[in-house]
Structure 1
Amino acid sequence: MASLHPPDRVTAKKLDTEDPIAPARGEFYIPTRAEITQNQDISRPRAASLYLCGNSLGLQPKLTRQLLDEELNVWARNGVYGHFRHPHGRPWVTIDETVTSAMADIVGAKKDEVAVMGTLTTNLHLLMAAFYKPTKERYKIIIEHKAFPSDHYAVESQIQMHNLSVSEALVTIKSPANSRILPTDHILSLIKEHASSTALLLLPGVQYYTGQAFEIQKITAYAKSLGLTVGWDLAHAAGNLELRLHDWNVDFAAWCSYKYLNAGPGGIAGLFVHEDQSKRPRLTGWWAHEVKSRFLMDNEMRIQAGAAGFQLSNPSVLDTIALLGSLTVFSKYTMTALRAKSVALTGYLEILLLSRFPDGPFSIITPSDPEQRGAQMSLLFEDDMMEEVNQVLQDNGVTCDERKPDVIRVAPTPLYNSFEDVWDFVEELRKAVDVVLARRKVLGLGTFS
Structure 2
Amino acid sequence: MGSRLHFQRIKEGPPLPHHDDIRAYKREYAEALDERDPLKSYRDQFIIPSKKDLLRKRLADTEGLQPKNLRKYLDQYLRSWAIKGVIGHFVSHEDALLPPYLHVDDAGSELLAPIVGASPSEYAVESQIRLHNFDPAISMALIEPEDAEKPILSTEQILKVIDDNASDTALIFLPGIQFYTGQYFDIKIITAHAHSKGILIGWDCAHAVGN
TM-score (norm 2): 0.65
Residue 207 of structure 1: how far off its partner (Å): 0.6
Alignment partner, residue 186 of structure 2: 215
Specify the alignment match of 1:10 in structure 2. 28
Structure 1: how far apart are the matches of 2:78 and 2:142? 47
User: Is 1:30 aligned to 2:48, yes or no?
Assistant: yes
- Structure 1 position 188 matched with structure 2 position 159: yes
Shift of 1:232: 3.5
Higher strand share: 1
Residue type of the alignment partner of 1:9 = R
- The structural deviation recorded for 1:204 is 1.8
Q: Which runs of 5+ in 2 are unaligned?
A: 1-10
**Is the contact between residue 205 and residue 234 of structure 1 (CA under 8 Å) also seen in structure 2?**
yes
Please state how far the C-alpha of 1:173 moved relative to its aligned partner: 5.2
RMSD of Structure 2 on Structure 1 (CA): 3.7
Structure 2 residue 103 is the aligned partner of structure 1 residue 95: yes
The sequence identity of aligned pairs, in percent, is 34
Q: Secondary structure at the match of 1:111?
A: coil
1:32-88 CA distance string (max 9 Å, x none): 216xx6xxxxxxxxxxx3411233433322332221122234445x43575255324
* Aligned residue number for residue 61 of structure 2: 55
Distance in 2 (alpha carbons) for counterparts of 1:188 and 1:132: 27
* Distance in 2 of aligned mates of 1:232 and 1:113: 12
**Conservation of the 8 A alpha-carbon contact between 1:128 and 1:158:** yes
Q: Which amino acid aligns with 2:22?
A: H
Q: Is the 8 A contact 1:173 1:187 kept in 2?
A: no
Tell me how far 1:193 sits from its aligned partner: 4.4
Q: Deviations over 1:157-203 (max 9, x none)?
A: 7124x6xxxxxx74525368x96544445533442344234444232
Measured in 2, the distance between the counterparts of 1:208 and 1:90 equals 31
2:38 to 10, 20, 30: 20
> Per residue, is there more helix in 1 or in 2?
2
Q: How much does 1:125 deviate?
A: 2.8
Name the CA distance, whole Å, in 1 between partners of 2:132 and 2:184.
24
C-alpha separation in 2, matches of 1:132 and 1:24: 48
* Partner of residue 76 from structure 2, selected from 55, 70, 75: 70
Q: Secondary structure at the match of 1:112?
A: coil
Partners of 1:202 and 1:16 lie apart in 2 by: 37
Aligned: 1:225 with 2:196: yes
Alpha-carbon offset, residue 206 of structure 1? 1.4
Paired residue secondary structure (1:33): coil
Q: Structure 1 regions of 5+ residues with no counterpart? A: 38-48, 115-122, 134-156, 163-168, 241-374, 376-449
1:292-311 residue pairs with structure 2 within 5 A? none
Count of aligned positions? 188
- State the Cα distance separating 1:222 from its structure 2 match: 2.6
For 1:289-317, what per-residue CA distance to the aligned partner results, in whole angstroms no more than 9, with x for missing partners? xxxxxxxxxxxxxxxxxxxxxxxxxxxxx
- Check whether the contact 1:90–1:98 (CA below 8 A) recurs between aligned residues: no
